[in-house]
Amino acid sequence: MKNNDNLNAALAAATCALLGSAVAAPVAAQEESSGWSFDSTLLYYGESDDRVRDISAAVAAQRDFGDERKFSATLTADTLTGASASGAIALDRPQTFTSPSGRAVYTTAAGAVPLDDTFLDTRFALNASWTQPLARLYTVSAGVGFSTEYDYTHLGANLSLARDFNKRNTTLSAGVAWSQDDVDPVGGRPIPLAQMLDVGNDSNKRNGGESKDVLDLLLGFTQVLNRTTVLRVNYSYSDSSGYLNDPYKLLSVVDPLTGDTLARVPIGQGPDGVYLFESRPDARTKQSLYAEVKHAFGTPVMHFAYRYMTDDWGIDSHTGEVRLRWPLGDGYIEPQLRYYTQSAADFYRASLVNGAALPRYASADFRLGDFDATTVGVKYGHGTTGGNEWSIRAEYYQQTGSVPQEQIIGNQARREQYPDLSAVIVQFGYRFRL
């Protein structure tokens, strides 16, 4: 049937001719349902080399009250085990570190990239939001969020307003979000750039927690380009202030010629090298520009997204993502590809050189370094007769980074400077309505 735009008009006219002048009032029909719809997911994240492993489960519930008023809430629980690179460099000899609690030591084998002490952390998060029309063409949305884990608590709220134009082909939106987080590290907060000391000596730590405040602004523009294409562009501004350090990350202090960590003799139990805790600025401003397009080629749908981020720590990043959804049997298959690249923070240091002036800020956290990351994955989804859908997704994530040439000193050159990170992600999802 061609010209489906006219199908309805033609049908209405034909029916009118058949039934005569009786004009029936417009239909008012609605499916009786509790109005609740749910989305649930179970995710496994596992890094290679026995590093971080995470299992998380989340349930999102949404209740439609009609007239575009909606309530939604999400509950997430995840359990994280394992360790990430601490920032200290690898050496040809084993290394001993004091654990974050300050009550024990742990050792790294010779030649291995030192990892944090293994930990187990369980986090719970709850988010809720309410959306409703404010006036014709205006929609307002407000939300709150809370999360807790053993050393971190988060409390946040957000508010946004959207306005439709141009027969709802264009939408402009503006939103703001505040959050206040409290960090209470195990063993106390390390003094920035203080040295790691022996077991039982906590003169390098401060007691009590610290807070971190974040303000986010979001401006959004959504536009229907044609019958099969829709575009969204967002500009974000984010301002963080307060305690932005990672309390468990270190830097090794190295000899200027050999590039090996300075040795230290502990009294009793303690580190056998000179390690300093990292120091980051207490403020960070980020800006990002994000654009995404969804286009339907007949039944398959392609999604493409790009994000550019820049901040005042000197980090610039580009993210590109593409997904293609193909119908397959009674369901669909969706291969995905993501590419990410970032430049290192200004204060990123592979190690600190003994004798040189101590910089104000320094961090060897690889997440602030210069790296590329690629994700390849595929998702399969299948609808069931009730309108429900289950899905399964598998992805492989790989990060490869590098240390700036001028920061590689002496023996460091012949060891792995920036450990690759690779992880497998498997996710099950089930969406249903009641």
Partner 1 sequence: MKKLPFCLVLLGLAGCAGVQPWERDVLARPEMSLDNAPLEAAIDDHIYFSKEASSGGRGFGGGGCGCN
Partner 2 sequence: MNTSCAATLTRNADHWVGRFVAMASPCEILVDDVQASLAQQVLDVVASEAWRIERKYSRYRTDSAVHRINDSAGSETVVDAECANLLDFAATLTRLSEGAFDITSGVLRKAWTFDGGNHVPSQAQIDALLASVGWHRVEWQRPVLQLQAGMQIDFGGIGKEYAVDSAADQVERIAPGLSCLINFGGDVAVRNARPDGKPWRVGIENCTRMGAAERVVQLSRGALATSGDARRFVFRDGHRYSHILDARTGWPVRNAPHSITVAADTCTQAGTLTTLAMLKGCNAESLLRESGAQYWLQ
Q: Which does 30 bind (CB under 5 to 8 A by kind): partner 2, partner 1, none?
A: partner 2
Q: Distance between CA 364 and CA 249 in Å, rounded?
A: 7
Residues 6+ away with beta carbon under 8 Å from 128: 71, 72, 73, 74, 143, 144, 145
Tell me the C-alpha distance between 46 and 118, whole Å: 14
- 24 makes contact, choosing from partner 2, partner 1, none, with CB < 5 to 8 Å by partner type, with partner 2
Cα-trace Rg, the chain: 27
Q: Min. distance of Cβ 91 from partner 1 in angstroms?
A: 25
Nearer to partner 1 by Cβ, of 58 and 262: the residue is: 58
Residue where the block lists tokens 């790691």 = 196
Pick from partner 2, partner 1, none: which does 405 bind, CB < 5 to 8 A by kind? Answer: none
| Partner from partner 2, partner 1, none binding residue 373, C-beta < 5-8 Å depending on class | partner 1
Q: Is 302 helix (H, G, I), strand (E, B) or coil?
A: strand
Least distance in angstroms from the C-beta of 133 to partner 2: 21
Residue 169 touches which member of partner 1, partner 2, none, C-beta under 5-8 Å by kind: partner 1
Q: Which listed option, partner 1, partner 2, none, makes contact with residue 218 (CB within 5 to 8 Å by class)?
A: partner 1
253 burial via Cβ count (<10 Å: 0-12, 13-18, 19+): buried
CB of 227 to partner 2, least distance (A): 10
With CB under 5 to 8 Å by kind, the binding choice for 96 among partner 2, partner 1, none is none
Choose between 2 and 227: whose C-beta lies nearer to partner 1.
227
Place of tokens 């590809």: 337
- 183/254 with CB nearer partner 1: 183
Shortest distance, position 249 Cβ to partner 1, whole Å: 11
| Smallest distance, partner 2 to C-beta of residue 430, A | 19
Q: Are 398 and 382 in contact (CB under 8 A)?
A: no
Q: Are 98 and 105 in contact (CB under 8 A)?
A: yes
Q: Closer to partner 2 at the Cβ: 21 or 203?
A: 21
Supply the minimum distance, in Å, between the C-beta of residue 338 and partner 2: 30
Closest separation between CB of residue 111 and partner 1, Å? 24
CB 51 within 8 A of CB 421: yes
Report the DSSP beta bridge partners of residue 296.
301
**Cβ closest to partner 1, residue 246 vs residue 255:** 246
Residue 1 binding result from partner 2, partner 1, none, given CB thresholds of 5 to 8 Å by partner type: partner 2
In the complex with partner 1, the residue whose CB is nearer, 45 or 277, is 45
**Residue closest to 99 by CA, chosen among 110, 83, 113:** 83
Tell me whether residue 3 or residue 405 sits nearer to partner 2 (CB atom). 3
Q: Which is nearer to partner 2, 112 or 224 (CB)?
A: 224
Structure-block tokens of residue 67: 């007239």
Question: Rounded to an integer, what distance in angstroms lies between the CA atom of residue 95 and that of residue 107?
Answer: 6
Measured from the CB atom, the residue of 253 and 403 that comes closer to partner 1 is 403
User: Closest separation between CB of residue 34 and partner 2, Å?
Assistant: 11
From the CB of residue 363, how many other CB atoms can be counted at a distance below 10 Å? 26
- The binder of 304, among partner 1, partner 2, none, by C-beta within 5 to 8 A per type, is none
- Residues in CB range of 113: below 8 A, 6 or more apart: 85, 89, 90, 416, 419
Name the residue among 213, 275, 269, 256 with its Cα closest to residue 238.
213
Task: List contacts with partner 2 (CB under 8 A).
Answer: 1-2, 4-5, 7-8, 10-12, 14-15, 17-20, 22, 24-32, 385-386
* Closer of 93 and 168 to partner 2 (Cβ): 168
Q: How far is the CB of 44 from partner 1 (least distance, A)?
A: 11
- Diameter of the chain measured on Cα atoms: 102
| Cβ-contact 106, 117 below 8 angstroms | yes
Q: How far is the CB of 106 from partner 2 (least distance, A)?
A: 59
d(CA 248, CA 52): 15
Q: Which does 230 bind (CB under 5 to 8 A by kind): partner 2, partner 1, none?
A: partner 1
Q: How far apart are CA 221 and CA 231, in angstroms?
A: 8
